[in-house]
Amino acid sequence: MKRYKIIFSFFIGLLLLGCSEDLMDEINENHNDTAVQTVENIMPDMCLKTAVETVGFDIAWWCTVYIEHNAGTWGQSSTADRRIGQESSSLFNNNWNALYDVMNICADVINITDPVSGREPSNYGGRGVAQILMAYNLAVATDMWGEVPYTEAFKGVENLQPSYDSQSDLYPVIFQLLDDAIVNFEMDGASLPENQDLIYGGDINAWIKAAHSLKARYYMRLTNVNATAANDALTEIALGFTSADDAMLFDHYEGVSLNNPNPWSAFWFERDHLSISSSFFRKMDVRNDPRREWFAGAGVTLADCALIGEAEQTQGGYPQSQLSTGYFTSRWSAPTPLMTYHELLFIKAEAEFRTGAATWQNTLEQAITENFNWFVNVYEKSPADASAYFTNNVLPRLTSGNELEEIITQKYIGLFEAECIESYNDYRRTGFPEMENPNNATVGFVNRFPYALSEESNNGDNVPDVDIYSDKVWWAL
């Protein structure tokens, strides 16, 4: 009997030796971390990163200083205000990498939902969302940097040094992505998971309106290079948002603790780098704009504000944004606006003015009214009479030759802070409103972002040679 036990043990040992590697692979596999993700599981990441990292973080915090909504009064924001070190390739490295991270995720979803080769070929809704968010993030990338990789990007180890596409080639791609998204959303069977869609909660029709509204935004970006831009925008506006309820928002911040707050509030609380700029406050002050109190606080005067480009470094020494600094209030849970209804109305007012439509003043008043309502409803501000403000303080400024400047200035005031990326784009496109930072004359206005250190190090042969102060992006020429 003992002999049989020894023989049996011998064969068991051989068996174990022969399959130990396979067994160990099976044992070590994490069955809770699948290697194949579904679009439903990926979608929250696309929405979250677009809203927080692309719209809500550093890019906006740089733009708010360049566009003079806020003055930089501490740390890197102060050096931006004084135009110190803005050419550094390390300055925007994190922004660049975050953008390409979310675009890689969008590209994965577009591949997964490919109608021929994808493993979810009938997921039209997921494909549409990925196409819209790819267009959105690509637009931010090319608007901030100009030429960026796209055609040869998102291929992983197959191409670690992609070439750069010109902005004039990328804008047709952006429009095509949005058009394709609309087609996918209109396919029979198109649907979205309510809980995973962190922007519209599974509402296909809302995504379609967002695609048309974004097309209007991007058409108006091209007013310097496309003679039909304003007419094209109006065509899309007719199919876009019809009320504030349609706005493209990310509204999933906790707002009751330091966990998961609105990023602008977190930036104020953790860094305290920004103060209301004298330049921005002056534009409201000369118009007797009731939003002064909403943005800067009750009783604040121009003399209290941080002198743009010259303010002393201080944390809390100047009036700060009342939209960001409210502690444990609705401000900490305020949504991140990817695109608002009032922005679309400001676009419409400009497009109507450019095309000679007689309704542009009415549309401008509507845009201002919707903007007032936005701050009342989102930030719990006391109501103000938008109609009286328009009649008494805006209408007298709409004199011959001054119309476009006032439209853009009203939009600039209305997009304060959380929507400042669009104000940065508008200024580079139109030259309105007038900037007052004295460092613009001595050093230069930052017309585009410097390329990332990661690109300089790993893809240097393809990185364009640009001067951020003198070289404008294509649509701004």
Percent of the chain with pLDDT over 70: 91
* 21 band by pLDDT with thresholds 50, 70 and 90: low
**pLDDT one-digit tens code per residue, 187-213:** 999 999 999 999 999 999 999 999 999
Mean pLDDT value across residues 166-180: 98
Looking at per-residue pLDDT, the higher value among 330 and 377 belongs to 377
Whether the upstream peptide bond of residue 149 has omega within 30° of 0, thus cis, is: no
**pLDDT one-digit tens code per residue, 78-102:** 999 999 999 999 999 999 999 999 9
* 166 band by pLDDT with thresholds 50, 70 and 90: very high
Residue 14 has pLDDT above 60, yes or no: no
Kindly list the structural domains of the chain, giving each domain's residue range(s) and its CATH number in brackets, ordered by start: 39-259+330-444+454-469 (1.25.40.390)
Residue 2 has pLDDT above 50, yes or no: no
* DSSP letters for 86-105: TT-TTTTHHHHHHHHHHHHH
pLDDT at 12: 40
pLDDT at 332: 87
pLDDT at 8: 40
Residue 409 has pLDDT above 70, yes or no: yes
Residue 307 has pLDDT above 50, yes or no: yes
For residue 350, give the amino acid letter.
E
Mean pLDDT value across residues 40-59: 97
With a CB cutoff of 8 Å and minimum separation 6, the contacts of 146 are 167, 448, 464, 466, 471, 473, 474
Give yes or no for a contact between 143 and 188, defined as CB atoms under 8 angstroms apart.
no
* 17 band by pLDDT with thresholds 50, 70 and 90: very low
Residue 223: C-alpha distances to residues 137, 171, 351, 360, 432 (Å)? 21, 13, 9, 17, 14
* 325 band by pLDDT with thresholds 50, 70 and 90: confident
pLDDT at 269: 87
User: 341: which 2 tokens?
Assistant: 């209804």
Lowest mean pLDDT among 18-22, 326-330, 391-395, 459-463: 18-22
**pLDDT one-digit tens code per residue, 423-433:** 999 999 999 99
The residues that bridge with 71 in the sheet, in sequence order, are 275
Looking at per-residue pLDDT, the higher value among 330 and 224 belongs to 224
Percent of the chain with pLDDT over 90: 87
* 239 band by pLDDT with thresholds 50, 70 and 90: very high
Q: Report pTM.
A: 0.93
| Helix (H) or strand (E) segment spanning residue 337 | strand 336-339
Best CA proximity match to 245, nearest among 335, 340, 333: 340
Burial (Cβ within 10 Å: 0-12, 13-18, ≥19) of residue 243:
exposed
pLDDT at 477: 84
* 5 band by pLDDT with thresholds 50, 70 and 90: very low
pLDDT at 270: 87
* Angstrom distance (rounded) from CA 172 to CA 403: 30
* Angstrom distance (rounded) from CA 232 to CA 426: 18
Residue 450 has pLDDT above 70, yes or no: yes
Best CA proximity match to 310, nearest among 78, 60, 61: 78
Residue 173 has pLDDT above 70, yes or no: yes
Mean pLDDT value across residues 108-127: 98
Mean pLDDT value across residues 316-324: 94
Of the ranges 245-259, 264-278, 289-303, which is most confident? 289-303
pLDDT at 36: 78
Mean pLDDT of the chain: 93
With a CB cutoff of 8 Å and minimum separation 6, the contacts of 466 are 146, 448, 450, 451
DSSP three-state, residue 301? coil
pLDDT at 135: 98
Best CA proximity match to 131, nearest among 151, 154, 149, 108: 108
pLDDT at 6: 42
pLDDT at 15: 41
Lowest mean pLDDT among 142-146, 162-166, 198-202, 256-260: 256-260
* 254 band by pLDDT with thresholds 50, 70 and 90: confident
Residue 44 has pLDDT above 60, yes or no: yes
* 257 band by pLDDT with thresholds 50, 70 and 90: low
